[in-house]
Structure 1
Amino acid sequence: MASIESLLNPIAPASKACSPTPTSSSPTTMTSRSPRQKRQKVVKDQPSFKKANIRGDLRYPPHEERDGELERIHTQFQLHPLHNIANFPAHIPYCSQKKSFKGRTGRGSLEVFHYTFQIPNGDGKKWVVSWDYNIGLVRTTSLFKCTQHPKTAPAKALKMNPGLSKISHSITGGALIGQGYWMPFEAAKALAATFCWKIRYVLTPLFGLDFPSRCIPPEDSRFGDMRIDQAIILQATREAAYYRGLELAASLHPQDTDQDRPYVRH
């Protein structure tokens, strides 16, 4: 018969007494956990390329027609997206404390297309080409930087071309991707032709297939002069006034779609 003491103080079996209690730090538990994925870092001065719908009129579409040789060059420069640029429009609100952009354009945002490219055998930097597909403003800052011009080059180019500064915009606030000098389309095209020889072929999605033939080669005395025909600036001034008129009319009569029609160039 068991004693009272043995009943009150039973001895645990050896197998149970010696078995360790599992803890959360055991190898089995640790290996079963999935590693935490790192959040991808967003580069603030690069486009996100998210599919979206176009806002307003598409007056300045991308030029994506290319032959085999141009396709080879675009691939060499890692142009992205290589196709269907218009599938990735971006909306950039104007957030600067300066009110000149809205006052001179009647708009509170930029509606843009982007694409990027890299210089072959370069430092791997992605250069961003951007333009407003509604009214044709082109962000020229990256064109100057890519061709190794100083920071003051855009302002200098504006001073060399009377009237151009009145229809161009220096945006300093808001999203980094929207900051810089924005110039009217035809003026930007003519200006870029004076100094963008080495990147002339990667600018065809923006300026069209005729752009490379319009570019001035480095051995030409006019290369880098940055003076453009005054007739181009006058025409760009008329277009800027026309587009501003459309925006003001649309704000007064938002239901009147007849006011929002493509500008006919003469």
Structure 2
Amino acid sequence: MPASCTDPAGAGPRFRPYASPDHHVTKARYITSNDPRGYISVYEYPLNGQWIMLDMDDGYVLWTGIWKALGNSKADIVKIIDSQPDLASQLRRVRGGYLKAQGTWMPYEIALRLARRVAWPIRHDLVPFFG
């Protein structure tokens, strides 16, 4: 279950990272035309030359960052998505805008399930987002 709480203003759930002595999680906001908000507010931290990001507002996780931190190619994400057609409708693909925020974003629960299956080598580095 994600570390989240209800926003006092009544805007719904707000996602927050778990504390980790080994990771410096920061906040950022990236402009993008792919999101109705016009921006994505994230928690982020670097891992193996990639950025691991969690959308503060809706809990979407930048799966591209996790996948590439594992040493996999971007093309392999397409294979995973193509093999699970029910997953495709729940993804958000960010293209254009700030390069760091580009890639495939997925809901927290799906990212957690997928990370449990394929991200064992970096499991300790995913503690800030997945506990």
Fold match by TM threshold 0.5? yes
Q: 2:18 aligns with which of 63, 68, 73?
A: 63
Q: Which has the higher strand share?
A: 2
| Correspondence 1:111 to 2:34 | no
Percent identical among aligned pairs is: 29
- 1:192 alignment partner AA: A
- 2:17 alignment partner AA: P
Q: Give a deviation string over 1:208-260, Cα, whole Å, max 9, x none.
A: 1xxxxxxxxxxxxxxxxxxxxxxxxxxxxxxxxxxxxxxxxxxxxxxxxxxxx
Name the structure 1 match of 2:29.
Answer: 91
SS at match of 1:112: strand
SS at match of 1:163: helix
Computed over aligned residues only, the root mean square deviation of the Cα atoms, in angstroms, reads 1.9
SS at match of 2:81: helix
Q: Which 5+ residue runs of structure 2 have no aligned equivalent?
A: 1-10
Residues 182/142 of structure 1: CA separation in 2 closer, same or farther (3 Å cut)? same
Query: How many Å apart are 1:153 and its aligned residue?
Result: 1.5
Q: Distance in 1 between matches of 2:12 and 2:53?
A: 17
Q: Which 5+ residue runs of structure 1 have no aligned equivalent?
A: 1-55, 96-100, 119-125, 209-266
Compute the TM-score of the two structures, normalised by the length of structure 1: 0.42
Name the structure 1 match of 2:54.
Answer: 131
Q: 1:189 aligns with which of 90, 112, 121?
A: 112
SS at match of 1:136: coil
Q: Give a deviation string over 1:21-44, Cα, whole Å, max 9, x none.
A: xxxxxxxxxxxxxxxxxxxxxxxx
Equivalent residue runs for 1:7-156 within 5 Å: 59-64=14-19, 71=21, 74=22, 79=23, 81=24, 85=25, 88-95=26-33, 101-102=34-35, 106-118=36-48, 126-156=49-79
Q: Distance in 2 between matches of 1:107 and 1:192?
A: 27
SS at match of 2:73: coil
Query: How many Å apart are 1:91 and its aligned residue?
Result: 1.4
SS at match of 1:186: helix
Q: Give a deviation string over 1:119-172, Cα, whole Å, max 9, x none.
A: xxxxxxx33110101101110112111212222111221122232111212212
- 2:128 alignment partner AA: P
Q: Does the CA contact (< 8 Å) of 2:47 and 2:69 recur in 1?
A: no
Residues 149/117 of structure 1: CA separation in 2 closer, same or farther (3 Å cut)? closer
SS at match of 2:14: coil
SS at match of 1:177: helix
Name the structure 2 match of 1:204.
Answer: 127
Q: Does the CA contact (< 8 Å) of 2:63 and 2:105 recur in 1?
A: yes
Q: Distance in 1 between matches of 2:39 and 2:90?
A: 16
Equivalent residue runs for 1:208-223 within 5 Å: 208=131
SS at match of 1:129: strand
For these two proteins, the number of residue pairs brought into alignment is: 121
